[in-house]
Amino acid sequence: MDRLDNTIRPYAWGSPTAIPHLLGVEPSGEPQAEMWMGAHPGAPSRTARGTLVEVIATDPERELGAEAVAKFGPHLPFLLKILAAGAPLSLQVHPDLRQAKEGYADEERRGVPVDAPHRNYKDANHKPELICALTEFDGLCGFRAPGEAADLLAALDVDSLKPYVDLLRAHPEEAALREVLTAILTADPAEMTRTVTEAATACARLGGDHAPYAGIAHHYPGDPGVLAAMLLNHVRLQPGEALFLGAGIPHAYLSGLGVEIMANSDNVLRCGLTPKHVDVPELLRIVRFEAGDPGVLRPEAARDGEEVYETPIDEFRLSRYVLPAGAPAHDLTLRTPQILLCTAGSVRAGEHELTPGGSVFVPAGEKAEVAGAGTLFRATVVV
């Protein structure tokens, strides 16, 4: 197995302290948002044999296994991250596989440069993702019931929001959510700034269920995404709990430290809380206007101490081992590729001693024995 040397991304929303604290190093004073583990070309993990992209390209079947190559192609189909949100991320959705392929082909046909700021589809893949909390973790996930959203907005007592309240109470669910989100994103910018400012003041005054939106508005004053966020479920995960974010589900991470895994894609359509491009017509085509419970996941016991976060996705499978002191070694050998990540304590993986933030890549079929006292996450695929 190969010890991984991983890149930390300094996005502006990142916490300056959470990842350094996990790694046991001094903060640099700069935001540290994500640590990437995998073979994404934008920041591939490095090994003694070269980057993980280079290692896999040399012999895909040896590194990934024949079954994984046959199903997903000669590349690692997931990206594993440690994510540290110190401020809200953009409100966003991801396309399904068919939409991604069609959107990518269309933009290629029209000659939109892949690095253009208005480009929606950077690749032809979907981007389902799973976030598992390491600390208390706040986020937004999926639409509230329209009546609940109406009550939340009505309590602000802002005159310019009353038409939205009426729409949410008068229409069938899908139509109500679609009409209100469309109205928010297409309103006159100057008028929307005034409305959001007034709403943010009311949220700060009311507190309680409104408090998260006052916090969002503090980071994104006047942004229409503040009102769009009020249409969504607010979720607070406890350590070990997780959220699965499928295609078309609007979501945003607000604060906290977590382990995130996703299909290897950059396709994001933004709804707000960002200075970046918002393609409203394409966004409205992708969003699933369905209200429902966000579905907090808790790990399910499998075998030999493994706890699995069950999802309907084959590109990744995330599980966790909480290893007690003095327990016998676990054999984690699989016929699929793995990344093992330590998040607490000290775990020996093969010849490598892993402390929090330490990770290894295990080629398909390679002997993978672990022991120690700590928490270990395992990322692999389903074949």
Tell me which residues are annotated as active site.
270
**Closest C-alpha to 223, from 241, 248, 196:** 196
Three-state SS letters, the chain: CEECECEEECCCCEECCHHHHHHCCCCCCCCECEEEEECCCCCCCEECCEEHHHHHHHCHHHHHCHHHHHHHCCCCCEEEEEEEECCCCCEEECCCHHHHHHHHHHHHHCCCCCCCCCCCCCCCCCCCEEEEECCCEEEEEEECCHHHHHHHHHCCCCHHHHHHHHHHHHCCHHHHHHHHHHHHHHCCHHHHHHHHHHHHHHHHHHCHHHHHHHHHHHHCCCCCHHHHHCCEEEEEECCCCEEEECCCCCEEEEEEEEEEEEECCCCCEEEECCCCCCCHHHHHHHCCCCECCCCCECCEECCCCEEEECCCCCCCEEEEEEECCCCCCEECCCCCCEEEEEEEEEEEECCEEECCCCEEEECCCCCCEEEEEEEEEEEECCC
